[in-house]
Structure 1
């Protein structure tokens, strides 16, 4: 039996909640993780029409990108718009799960799906997240106590990095000069002594620093262990907002704008470009959703064009005056819609017994477009 908890595990592995921005709200909104799961619907937004579709299709989970509950929510009463949707989902036995900025920064994530839709070969993130901070602990331990000290450090959260656990480096060491009586090294104080020791190195998250130190002090044979902590320098990773990519062949901005319009679902907003229509486009930055805060990043990276949504008049005008890349502005919903198929594909691969479906309802709020 596949449960909601199984779905959550797959989605959390693909889009780790730790990648979400501090202001965001991601994860399970309603539903019982122990409930059996049979059908899952994917959408960008949990609008009334999407909830209708989920209930009519008898979905047991609705997975969306945009949070239904985010800021200033102090009631989910059934007589409020958002509360009414939640009550309908709960009464119908349909869970609601959100993957928002964690899906934006994951690899692959929202912008990878957008890049793939445009036929780009991704080379890296637009705004890379740094690798998680890691402490490197170096401890001099009498060899008679090395195993006990390592066991204590591992139990406190040290020895792990990525997919590795209980990992340590041991290097034999001997001479030292005790400046007080220590039980591990009986002999004259102040005299150089030879004692079989190990130089032990373990990695640990900075959040575990207090626990690791307490474990070391408790397991070490003396009250004054010799240790040193250094923190790994912050390095860029493959994770982060947006993506940089290349086209199969260079093409004009006019042709590239047509490419974007043909790749994304149609909306009243449409697709518009800013820049010389004959400009050659080869390197492209993309950011699913509102991406005007990354205009400077796209300029610094020297791309030929930047595809995103919700661009405003004055920032675009100033950007072009400074010689930035050409800009392609599409509807917010349209730039994030390709993610739904990506999330569906991940779930299908991990939980093949589930029936899945991507909602094709257009949840873009703009409904009428006109040109004069």
Structure 2
């Protein structure tokens, strides 16, 4: 079977299901950075940063799209000088028709994003957002379907992400009724005849859908539904959806010493060293995590009840403040966010398993620091 070819736009749509652009902070710059939405793509590379060495790697591997966590273009550019590091990168991208897409703070905040991956790697369970920003927008979807096809439509709803309430999935409610319609000239009705009023025993299926899944759910329903024209209603809800926010706070299954936990972090994140404050024999269990630079949230971590806070780029006086308030701080470096490379790769593999596209992660280290 021939696999379907895709464009950048197809990839971006899938990425924005995982990390909607609406979750990004206003000061951030996410989305397409260089290139075209309509460019065909046959090979994609995932990276943490877009440095010149990474672009050279992409060129050598025939990559047409780079997906990065850190934006290549973060601050507004006033000039484009091709003899500067950033200018050289942009010149090479354009010369080799390579597009760049960034998913930054939206991927930090998103469920299944950077901070959830860090929690999974570090065996932190029952995690919740550390800094709550809001909750997902919810809609009620109502679909009218003949009784004979109610099961396949319900399966399409549940399989595409509808009907999630707390820890339950595939939640629906249905009522029976009679649908009436008259197929007009030019129609090809599944039931009934042209220009004849038809009455059909139908069920009204109601479910709840998170905004980011709504278009996928509608597509799945329309595909599964037998009718030429599908009747459905969408209602905006005031119900609070799944909370979202920056960072995570959760617990370890068992209490360990700070030193033991640091050893685990080095192993699980594959890093040569880290910085830590506090008594290494102190017992830790409730852990806050914020990938990247999160030192300004030490008080939020303490207030949330964390005994340990994992984040990068911690400065001297902030570390002192945390130490004095009894909050252990573990700084594995900003480069710990590299965990996003493999997780985004796996997500794309699942989404594009039947598409004609090759996926790889960058093997170039973009960590500027060495341990000696």
Distance between the aligned counterparts of 1:265 and 1:309, measured in 2? 15
Out of 319, 328, 331, the residue aligned to residue 330 of structure 2 is: 328
TM-score by length of 1: 0.70
Out of 250, 274, 277, the residue aligned to residue 245 of structure 1 is: 250
Change (3 A) 1:52 1:256: same
Establish whether residue 66 from structure 1 lines up as the match of residue 70 from structure 2. yes
Out of 241, 255, 277, the residue aligned to residue 260 of structure 2 is: 255
Establish whether residue 273 from structure 1 lines up as the match of residue 272 from structure 2. no
User: 1:107–1:239: 8 Å Cα contact kept in structure 2?
Assistant: yes
Number of equivalenced pairs: 279
Distance between the aligned counterparts of 2:242 and 2:298, measured in 1? 20
Out of 313, 318, 343, the residue aligned to residue 316 of structure 2 is: 313
Larger Rg: 1
User: 1:4–1:36: 8 Å Cα contact kept in structure 2?
Assistant: yes
Q: Deviations over 1:319-365 (max 9, x none)?
A: 22122x211111101x2010111111111111123211111222111
User: 1:45–1:363: 8 Å Cα contact kept in structure 2?
Assistant: yes
User: 2:47–2:68: 8 Å Cα contact kept in structure 1?
Assistant: yes
Out of 104, 126, 130, the residue aligned to residue 130 of structure 2 is: 126
Distance between the aligned counterparts of 1:164 and 1:50, measured in 2? 35
Distance between the aligned counterparts of 1:133 and 1:247, measured in 2? 31
Distance between the aligned counterparts of 1:289 and 1:113, measured in 2? 13
Q: Deviations over 1:169-220 (max 9, x none)?
A: xxxxxxxxxxxxxxxxxxxxxxxxxxxxxxxxx648xxxxxxxxxxxxxxxx
Distance between the aligned counterparts of 2:19 and 2:321, measured in 1? 35
Distance between the aligned counterparts of 1:342 and 1:35, measured in 2? 24
User: 1:245–1:284: 8 Å Cα contact kept in structure 2?
Assistant: yes
Q: Which residue of 2 aligns with 1:351?
A: 352
Q: Which residue of 1 aligns with 2:104?
A: 100
Q: Secondary structure at the match of 2:40?
A: coil
Distance between the aligned counterparts of 1:251 and 1:132, measured in 2? 35
- Give structure 1 stretches of 5+ with no counterpart: 135-159, 166-201, 205-231
User: 1:289–1:308: 8 Å Cα contact kept in structure 2?
Assistant: yes
TM-score by length of 2: 0.70
- Give structure 2 stretches of 5+ with no counterpart: 139-208, 216-234
What value does the CA root-mean-square deviation take over the aligned residues? 2.5
Q: Secondary structure at the match of 1:276?
A: coil
Q: Deviations over 1:121-175 (max 9, x none)?
A: 24211112112689xxxxxxxxxxxxxxxxxxxxxxxxx973669xxxxxxxxxx
